[in-house]
Amino acid sequence: MTASDDPVLFESRRRHLLGLAYRILGSLAEAEDAVQDTCLKWSAADRGAIENPAAWLTTACTRRCLDLLKSARRARVDYVGTWLPEPVQTAALETPESSLELASSLSRSCCCWSASARRSVRPICCA
């Protein structure tokens, strides 16, 4: 493996690491932080001593996530309700038609609201 392959290898594993970190931490923002920390550790590691880079990255990311969980447990106030992981957008990209429909409905409602707001009356629906 050459030095130029190192970023390519990490980027090829990034999606896997992000999924792993999200499943452990339950927060996309924290998962991205853990993956970024793993990237920094990967860039500083001695690659000659690493036999299986994919396994090394997975182990390093898992350990970072566990460290984050331990530190969060110490700093967290007890939450009384049921814990749910934050939702992640998994649907395919929107079609151009649905984007256009959403944009036109929003622009219509904004125009109607701003026109009625200038007359000092409550907003009306402009269908």
d(CA 12, CA 122): 53
pLDDT of residue 101: 76
Average pLDDT over residues 72-88: 67
Band the pLDDT of 97: cuts 50, 70, 90.
confident
pLDDT for residue 82 is more than 80: no
Tell me which CATH code domain 5-75 carries: 1.10.1740
Residue in the structure block whose two tokens are 């030095």: 3
pLDDT in tens, 23-60: 999 889 999 999 999 999 999 999 889 999 999 999 99
**Rounded Cα distance, 99 and 7, in Å:** 35
**Residue predicted with more confidence, 105 or 36:** 36
Predicted TM-score (pTM) of this structure: 0.58
Q: Please tell me whether residue 26 adopts helix, strand or coil conformation.
A: coil
pLDDT level of residue 98 (50, 70, 90 thresholds): confident
Distance CA 25, CA 46 (A): 28
With contact defined as beta carbons under 8 Å apart, do 27 and 33 qualify?
no
- Identify how many contiguous H helices and E strands the chain contains and give both numbers: 4, 0
Q: What average pLDDT does the chain have?
A: 77
If pLDDT is split at 50, 70 and 90, which confidence band does 108 have?
low
DSSP symbols for 48-93: GG-S-HHHHHHHHHHHHHHHHHHHHHHHPPPP-S---PPP---SPP
CA 69 to mean position of chain CA atoms: 17
Instruction: Provide the greatest CA pair distance for the chain.
Output: 73
Higher pLDDT, 124 or 44: 44
Domain ranges of the chain: 5-75, 95-127
- The count of other CB atoms within 10 Å of the CB of residue 38 is 27
